[in-house]
Amino acid sequence: MSTIAYGIKNCDTIKKMKKWLDAENIAYRFHDYRVDGLDRDMLEAFEAELGWEAMLNKRGTTFRQLTEDQKANLNQETALALMLEYPAMIKRPLLIHNGGYHLGFKPAQYQEIFQTN
The set of catalytic residues is 11
CA distance 61 to 58: 8
C-beta of residue 103 within 8 angstroms of C-beta of residue 50? yes
Q: Is 104 exposed, middle or buried (0-12, 13-18, 19+ CB in 10 A)?
A: middle
**Pick from 36, 48, 29: which is nearest to 95 by CA?**
29
